[in-house]
Chain A
Amino acid sequence: MASIAHTGSLPRAAEFRTCPDTGLKVDLAAEKLIRWNAVVAVVFLAVGGFFGLLVALTRWPAVHLLPAEWFYLALTAHGADVLLFWIIFFEIAILYFASAILLNCRLATPRVAWFGFWLMLAGALLANVAVLQGESSVMFTSYVPMQAAPHFYLGLILFAVGALVAVAVFFGTLVIAKDEGTYEGSVPLVTFGAIAAAIIAVFTITSGAIILIPTFLWSIGLVSHIDPVMYKVVWWGMGHSSQQINVSAHVAVWYAIAAMVLGAKPLSEKVSRFAFLMYILFLQIAAAHHLLVEPGISSEWKIFNTSYALYLAVLGSLIHGLSVPGAIEAAQRRRGYTKGVFEWLRKAPWGNPAFAGMFLSLVMFGFIGGISGVVLGSEQINLIMHNTLYVPGHFHGTVVAGTTLAFMAVTYLVVPLIFRREIMFKKLAQWQPYVFGIGVAGISVFMMGAGTLGVSRRHWDITFSDAPVAFEYPGTAFLMMGLNGVFGVLSALGGLMYVVVVVSSVFFGERRTEEKARAEPLLPQGGAAAVASYGSEGTLKLPGTITLVAIFFTAFVLYYFVNWKFLSEVWPLS
């Protein structure tokens, strides 16, 4: 067993073990919280993913699985369970990891952390109950004046408050680490990214509370009117900005995996941290992305906010788009893969699901989610995309291909390191990121295709069989929806593989003892140091990364202007 040290002089007698893989000091209270947050996250992923499969099968015209009422219910549950509950529970686990574990520190007030955990769990369950009772099929966005049952809003509020408590514990832990001198100089980059995520989280969760509390009061009759435009402005201060928690968190996870698997260090700490800073400063105003075709909001407001003030937050992502693959290339070249432009990439550990998932996440987030997001968020182009399936196509590229796949990938390291269990069904685990990744790429691209052809999102019957007047979408649109269904099944399969591997490993996997860890080290030499300390790679020639970035940038520019061309072809309006 791991050695346990008692530090009696501290306010809380924290118990630590020393991790045999990394040499890091692990606070047992933090470890337990990380485990439980991760486990609950995976349960919500499984439930929400199942609802997602039902949605995909209903929108597959040849299958059209659910009746209308159940379809809208399943869609509401899918949004809440995966977009909120899976991701935020997992992010809380990441925050505890990036603070207590990476900084060698005890977690601040584990009791308060548990209180936050139970509050989040109670809220998530309550919201699920409300949705399953059928009176709250209002979609994840719950736009007023459509009304859900009061306990739907109450559930979300409890969840948000619980998450806020967890974020406070994270900040408290940083203070303790600084105070007790458990690290020197600047915090590691992964922790820095987590701090960015946490700061954004405070803003977004507060926005959520500001709008959901009056909406809850309205649902029980204490407030008479909620303005629908105002609701959207504030609600999206949570709804969109919380996606920026995800971006910060999954970019931090990219750096963490690259560091742990390859010993990669950021090219320049300054540049990477500057990019995170851009997120903190500018991502918050993205509520505008959902208000570009609303009445009563001026174009000046729309342009400034939708562009994150001159695209400065996009600049942050473009910087990470160079520095993450750059860090990987530099590390691989240092390890001797120096032939040609791409030997470093060819000989990367593609059989390691942590790396494979991370790299697929990076590429798909950039090419699919990132580019489409900027195009969709252009004030006028939004006219030809708003509320079509292009929108879910875009955000499945960011939140599923980007965030979810990155979180899945890091799980393959969390299970042996934190749960101290060996990964079971190694072959299944190896294939999982590819099956899930290809499935998600498919649903993103085909939904975007269908959206370009005008197909509405959140729609049960695109044949309009019960409508008073007929309208037919083009045949290609139906083909797109069929393909979306096929790839939906594939990504559900990938999700199932993940759940099977993780759940069986956590509960039935072989224990990873200290001897085992020494015999088969999980991380390469320098992996632990790269993730848990500060340091830049410095100057290096990176022809491969520069080629990849050039391809990406060309695709971005072309796709951007093609959409302006599409826009110029529709009816003039002013």
Chain B
Amino acid sequence: MAIHPPEKRIWWNEPLEKSEIIWITIAFIWGLVMFFTMVFWHFTGEQNLSNEAYRIHPETFAERTEAMVDQYTVREEGDTGLPVVRPPPGSDVYMLARLWEWWPILELEEGKDYRLHLSSMDWQHGFSLQPENINIQVHPGYELVLTLTPEGIGEYGVVCNEYCGIGHHQMVGRIHVVAAK
């Protein structure tokens, strides 16, 4: 026996108050607005993550990346002599993640489209393009292909923002955006 008798026994039979109905209606409509904003952005927005992905063996991905590097390397940069690769606009470009580097450095032309392929050789990594602040998860065994259009000439950093062990904080890559020819 409860110490006080219940005022009404069954909760779902109670009437609703007007102020609460109004708020529930507003909140529900707001939920619909937020839901359809995401859908809407797929049709009108320019920033949507690609749904194109494949399963891939890390070795296969490495081979394709190496082929691109062999063909289009223009110079080397950084303490470890990272190749700087300048593939033609519109082409397939690769960036692989491994403990603890992004490889290679890409040189892309402003305003041109590139099909960027991302995958990891070992653990998970996080492709974090700075200072744009575009962040994409990179998995081993999965290849994500997205179309990217660089805007703004300059030097961009690629930070790893998925924890990947003791060298995680050394894992920085680079993308150069240069004027179109």
Contact A267 B151 (CB under 8 A): no
- With both chains docked as a complex, state the minimum distance between the C-beta of A97 and any C-beta of chain B, in angstroms: 16
Contact B6 A185 (CB under 8 A): yes
Contact B147 A574 (CB under 8 A): yes
User: Chain B's interface: helix, strand, loop or mixed, by majority?
Assistant: mixed
Across the interface, which residues of B come within 8 angstroms of A564, CB to CB? Answer: 37, 41
* Central interface residue in A103, A533, A571, by most chain B CB within 10 Å: A571
Contact A273 B11 (CB under 8 A): yes
Contact A570 B47 (CB under 8 A): yes
Does A40 touch B at the CB level, under 8 Å? no
Interface stretch among B67-75, B88-96, B122-130?
B122-130
What 0/1 readout, one digit per residue, does chain B (18-34) give for beta carbons within 8 Å of chain A?
A: 01100110111011101
Task: Select which of B2, B51, B131 is within 8 A of A454 by beta carbon.
Answer: B131
Does B106 touch A at the CB level, under 8 Å? no
> Once the chains are docked, how many angstroms separate the CA of A14 from the CA of B72?
80
- With both chains docked as a complex, state the minimum distance between the C-beta of A185 and any C-beta of chain B, in angstroms: 4
CB nearest to A556 among chain B residues:
B30
What 0/1 readout, one digit per residue, does chain A (451-489) give for beta carbons within 8 Å of chain B?
A: 011101111111010111111111000000000000000
Does B141 touch A at the CB level, under 8 Å? yes
Interface size class of A (residues with CB under 8 A): 35 or more
Contact A269 B11 (CB under 8 A): yes
Q: Are A312 and B31 also in contact (CB < 8 A) when A146-B123, A378-B37, A379-B38 are?
A: yes
> Once the chains are docked, how many angstroms separate the CA of A388 from the CA of B82?
26
Across the interface, which residues of B come within 8 angstroms of A574, CB to CB? Answer: 46, 48, 50, 146-147
Across the interface, which residues of B come within 8 angstroms of A315, CB to CB? Answer: 24, 27-28, 31
In this complex, how many residues of chain B approach chain A with their Cβ under 8 Å: the count is: 93
A selection of 24 A-B contacts at a CB cut-off of 8 Å is A23-B3, A72-B168, A104-B3, A143-B162, A184-B1, A268-B16, A270-B11, A271-B24, A296-B53, A380-B45, A384-B135, A386-B126, A454-B133, A456-B161, A458-B161, A460-B168, A466-B170, A468-B101, A532-B3, A539-B17, A542-B19, A564-B41, A570-B132, A574-B48
The 3 closest A-B pairs by CB, nearest first: A311-B31, A471-B157, A185-B9
Give A contacts to B, CB under 8 Å.
Answer: 23-24, 68-69, 72, 103-104, 137, 139, 143, 145-146, 181-186, 227-229, 267-271, 273, 292-296, 298-299, 303, 306-307, 310-312, 314-315, 318-319, 322-323, 374, 378-380, 382-388, 452-454, 456-462, 464, 466-474, 528-529, 532-536, 538-539, 542, 546, 549, 553, 556-557, 560, 564, 567-568, 570-574
Q: Besides the contacts A296-B144, A574-B46, what 6 more A-B pairs have beta carbons closer than 8 Å? A: A315-B31, A456-B128, A535-B6, A535-B7, A571-B151, A572-B46
